[in-house]
Structure 1
Amino acid sequence: MTRLPVPVALLLLAALAACGADGDPQPPTLDTTVTLAAGSGGGGYAQGGIGLRRGPVGLYFGF
């Protein structure tokens, strides 16, 4: 069996500590946004998005 080099092992331990693995589990949160606006000249537009966050990691899709 091969041993990990020390810098790789330290990096893995730091990543594990940073992800909150030793804390309470956090429930995911969902966020939605919809915006309707009137543009100049009588036109208008719509924009929005949906996002999901769990702990320090988030994912957001906009349209």
Structure 2
Amino acid sequence: MRVLVAMMALAAVAACGADGEPIQPTMNSTITLSNHGIGATTHVAATRGPVTFGLGLGL
């Protein structure tokens, strides 16, 4: 849990421009419906130069 909070804090600091120009984050969400039920996934990413930081969650 601490690692997740630390990663989210790092992403927030990088996205707000504390270390330079602000980074525009991207977000993709998918909701699927099948015979097995409903599924949802979300992925948030921020890219700066050759480095991409992303975080995904699937339910």
Please give the TM-score of this superposition, normalised by the length of structure 2.
0.53
AA at the equivalent of 1:39: S
Count of residue pairs brought into register by the alignment: 38
Q: Give the percent of matched residue pairs that are identical in Structure 1 and Structure 2.
A: 24
List per-residue Cα deviations over 1:12-60 (Å, max 9, x = no partner).
Answer: xxxxxxxxxxxxxx7623110110010224x111001100101111001
Greater strand proportion: 2
Runs (4+) of structure 1 moved beyond 4 Å?
A: none
1:37 counterpart = 2:56: no
Gaps of 5+ in 1: 1-25
1:52 counterpart = 2:46: yes
- Measured on the aligned residues, the alpha-carbon RMSD in Å equals 2.0
Gaps of 5+ in 2: 1-20
